[in-house]
Structure formats: C-alpha cells, structure tokens
C-alpha cells in the first residue's frame, strides 16, 4: 500500500520541479526588452527558432534523417530517424518505464493521411534515475528509430513523392528535470532520393 503513494508523491515532485524549471528558463532566456538576437539564415528546417515562453523538448532534441534522407532506394527500404540530443539530456524510451511518462513515438503521413508504417524502436538504456523502485529506461544522443514500410507502402510513398514524419519526445535532464513534450517534424522528399 505504501508504494503507490510514494510513486504518486514522486510524480508530483517531478511535476513541480519541471514547472520551476520552466519558470527559470522563461525568466533567464536572454529575451529581455532591448536585447538583440541575431537572426539565423539557414535552409535547415531543424534550425532553432528564437521564441519566448516556456521551454519545451524541441529546445534540447533535434531529429535527423540518416544518410541525408537517402532512403527507399530499392523496392523496400528502411527510413532511419536519429535523435540529436544535447549533452546532459535524454528522452523517454518506447515503451515508457511508467504509465504516466511520455514515450518517444514516431508517426507518419502522406498527403495529410496517417500512414501506419511498422516502427522499430531501440532498446532503452537503464538510467540512474528511479521513481519508486523503477529505474527509468531512456534514449541518449544518437538513438535511431527505424520505419520499415512494406512493398505496398513503399509503392504508395514513391507515388506520393513525400513522406511527412513526426517524432513526439519528452526531454529530461540527467538530474530528472523534464521539459514539456514536443513534436519534431521531418519530411522525406522521395523525388530527391531516386537513383540517378
């Protein structure tokens, strides 16, 4: 009987710490009136964007297509998404170690329609962070998620010419402070991956 209240109390404590971190990040972000921030000119869609307000997981995690987006060259192929996570941070594994934690989840769509591509998640690393008696499994920098479309899906993707993907993550520091979850988008333009 005492384990459940401990887990609940621990969850509330983590939540309160996260709120305090959001408030600190928001007040110390360097966005004070009169402070100039240089504009970044980049064609990279994952380039950080200056914004105000609470921090979220996209401030600590980026999403990259492996091999520069060269996927689906044959009849079938895998699409590899790699997490670029800042040092001192991690994201929850899939499946998450506890029911209330937000797992890392990949989703995809073609022309606005959801496409259920089989997805292979890496095994999480058992971290030093524990809630109750449970050590949390996490992904670190460089973790790769593999989308494995079948022949029918591959044909549909090639016909559409583009696959939109989103990975939902929740970044947490190695000290256990978690940021709000974020959806990280990336698009695979299949017209650019065809062999010459």
What burial letters (b/e) apply to 145-170, b meaning 16+ CB within 10 Å? bbbebeeebbebbeebeebbbbbbbb
Q: What is the pLDDT of residue 156?
A: 86
The model carries a pTM of 0.69
pLDDT computed for residue 77 by the predictor? 77
Render each residue's pLDDT in the chain as its tens digit; 196 residues: 556 666 656 666 666 566 655 555 554 444 443 333 333 333 344 555 555 678 899 999 999 987 655 555 455 578 999 999 999 999 999 999 999 999 999 999 998 899 999 999 999 999 988 889 999 999 999 999 999 999 888 888 888 989 999 999 999 999 889 999 999 999 998 775 444 3
End-to-end Cα, the chain, rounded Å: 65
Cβ-proximal residues to 86 (8 Å cutoff; 6+ apart), any chain: 60, 61, 141
- Spell out the domains of the chain, with CATH numbers in brackets: 3-28+55-192 (2.60.40.1250)
Asked whether the beta carbons of 25 and 55 are under 8 A apart, the reply is yes
**Cβ 120 vs Cβ 86: under 8 Å:** no
CB 100 within 8 A of CB 184: no
What pLDDT shows up at residue 7? 61
Beta strands in the chain (DSSP E): 61-65, 79-85, 89-92, 105-110, 113-114, 119-120, 125-131, 134-139, 144-147, 162-169, 171-173, 182-189
């Amino acid at each position: 009987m005492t384990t459940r209240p401990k887990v609940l109390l621990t969850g509330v404590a983590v939540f309160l710490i996260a709120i305090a971190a959001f408030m600190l990040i928001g007040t110390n972000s360097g966005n004070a009136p009169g402070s100039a921030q240089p504009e970044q000119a980049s064609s990279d869609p994952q380039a950080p964007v200056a914004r105000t307000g609470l921090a979220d997981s996209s401030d600590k995690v980026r999403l990259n297509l492996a091999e520069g987006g060269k996927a689906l060259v044959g009849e079938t192929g895998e699409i590899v998404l790699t997490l670029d996570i800042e040092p001192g941070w991690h994201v929850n594994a899939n499946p998450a170690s506890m029911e209330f934690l937000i797992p890392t989840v990949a989703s995809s769509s073609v022309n606005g329609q959801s496409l259920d591509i089989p997805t292979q998640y890496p095994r999480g690393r058992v971290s030093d962070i524990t809630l109750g008696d449970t050590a949390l499994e996490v992904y670190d920098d460089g973790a790769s998620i593999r989308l494995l479309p079948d022949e029918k899906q591959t044909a549909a993707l090639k016909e559409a010419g583009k696959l939109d993907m989103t990975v939902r993550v929740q970044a947490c520091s190695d000290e256990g402070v978690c940021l709000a979850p974020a959806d990280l988008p990336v698009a695979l333009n299949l017209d650019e991956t065809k062999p010459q």
